[in-house]
């Protein structure tokens, strides 16, 4: 389903090549003066670096058609609409199955009635309303001092090994291609352009950190913080893995290396490490929450691929022209931030007596 949430319920709608896309946000607190400029800035970040992004340049001019009056949220359902303007549906042929796209499973699931153009409802376009959601969530989190930031950890085999820390966060926040090591950043960009020139695509990893979270958020079992974040992150097109704290690497460690020992230092409870990524037993422990997301190479490539036409039921060789990013990592990053902000806001609104 395209709804989610326990406290702030979201309802996402739209398809890539229809009139508009949008989101309705239920139970957002009333009387909040929304920072519309901050929303626009986040939407801009989502477009990625012009030099390596798709040439489909949607303006992403949103309008608020409900829940907003005299510059403030009214408490009624908050609906944002983004019209689809720059549509070029001629690029899509009915029946052509693009490898590793949703074309085939949706064709079956929706009894051939799905709007196949541009991936329909599963299009990356739909992440624009999610970025709006993230922007207004972040605005509330800021009031509590909570900061969420991500960096590109790797592109293909090129890895940024400098650990993320609270000092570099600010510079990451407004960067369309946030990498900590600037030399590595150049290598990554070069790599992407090379791949692009070959008509191919490439994947990468994004690392995300949440600072200043209070301890005690989340639940044992089915609403662990990991469960909720993972649920949302896996809804972003192209995500194939997620790990918290030391993640897959922790499997290679001994308990004596992996445990985060604790001491009272200067009268403050202090963790001597953060292998757990700020979560124990599903609940935040007060340390920064840290997770890494694996993003696959863009499925749309210009190289010839063996495929089929499901309407004619014939084999074909497919070359995807259209306008596509050779690497969706920098464009997925603001969406990861957005859904993380929303996840944390929803957790913060937990029942209180």
Confirm or reject binding of residue 205 to a second copy (CB under 8 A): yes
Confirm or reject binding of residue 334 to a second copy (CB under 8 A): no
Q: Which span sits near a second copy by CB under 8 A: 44-52, 54-62, 116-124, 167-175?
A: 116-124
Q: Which of residues 42-71 bind a second copy (CB under 8 A)?
A: 63, 65-69
Q: DSSP readout, 308-351?
A: EETTTTEEEEE---S---S--HHHHHHHHHHHHHHHHHHHHT--
Q: Closer to a second copy at the Cβ: 138 or 246? A: 246
Q: Closer to a second copy at the Cβ: 149 or 279? A: 279
Confirm or reject binding of residue 313 to a second copy (CB under 8 A): yes
CA gap 178, 98 in Å, rounded: 30
Of 48, 204, 288, 334, the one binding a second copy by CB under 8 A: 204
CA gap 183, 197 in Å, rounded: 21
Of 140, 173, 189, 209, the one binding a second copy by CB under 8 A: 140
Strand 268-271, strand 262-265: pairing: antiparallel
Cα dihedral: 152, 210, 59, 54 (round 10): 20
Confirm or reject binding of residue 121 to a second copy (CB under 8 A): yes
* Contact assessment for residue 34 and residue 142, using Cβ atoms and an 8 Å cutoff: no
Q: Which span sits near a second copy by CB under 8 A: 45-53, 168-176, 178-186, 196-204?
A: 196-204
Q: Which of residues 241-280 bind a second copy (CB under 8 A)?
A: 241-248, 250-264, 269, 272, 275-277, 279-280
* Contact assessment for residue 126 and residue 12, using Cβ atoms and an 8 Å cutoff: yes
**Interface characters, 157-176, with a second copy (x: CB under 8 A):** x-------------------
CA gap 297, 165 in Å, rounded: 27
């Amino acid at each position: 389903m395209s709804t989610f949430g326990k406290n702030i319920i979201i309802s996402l709608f739209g398809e890539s090549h229809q009139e508009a896309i949008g989101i309705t946000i239920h139970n957002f607190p009333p009387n909040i003066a929304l920072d519309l400029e901050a929303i626009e800035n986040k939407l801009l970040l989502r477009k990625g670096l012009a030099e390596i992004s798709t040439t489909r340049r949607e303006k992403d001019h949103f309008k608020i058609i409900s829940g907003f009056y005299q510059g403030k949220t009214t408490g009624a359902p908050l609906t944002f609409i983004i019209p689809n303007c720059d549509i070029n549906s001629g690029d899509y042929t009915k029946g052509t199955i693009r490898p590793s796209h949703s074309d085939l499973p949706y064709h079956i699931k929706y009894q051939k009635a799905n709007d196949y153009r541009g991936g329909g409802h599963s299009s990356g376009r739909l992440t624009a309303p999610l970025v709006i959601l993230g922007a207004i969530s972040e605005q509330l989190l800021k009031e509590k001092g909570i900061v969420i930031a991500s960096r590109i950890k790797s592109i293909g085999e090129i890895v940024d090994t400098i650990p993320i820390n609270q000092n570099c966060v600010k510079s990451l926040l407004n960067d369309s291609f946030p990498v900590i090591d600037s030399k590595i950043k150049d290598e990554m960009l070069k790599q992407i352009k090379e791949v692009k020139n070959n008509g191919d695509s490439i994947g990468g990893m994004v690392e995300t950190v949440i600072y200043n979270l209070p301890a005690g958020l989340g639940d044992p079992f089915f609403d662990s913080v990991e469960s909720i974040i993972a649920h949302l992150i896996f809804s972003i097109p192209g995500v194939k893995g997620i790990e918290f704290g030391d993640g897959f690497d922790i499997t290679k460690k001994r308990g004596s290396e992996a445990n985060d020992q604790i001491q009272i230092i200067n009268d403050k409870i202090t963790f001597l490490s953060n292998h757990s990524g700020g979560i124990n037993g599903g609940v935040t422990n007060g340390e920064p929450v840290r997770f890494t997301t694996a993003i696959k190479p863009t499925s749309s490539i210009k190289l010839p691929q063996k495929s089929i036409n499901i309407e004619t039921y014939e084999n074909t060789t497919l070359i995807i022209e259209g306008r596509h990013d050779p690497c969706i990592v920098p464009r997925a990053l603001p969406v990861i931030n957005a859904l993380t902000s929303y996840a944390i806001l929803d957790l913060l609104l937990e029942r209180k007596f």
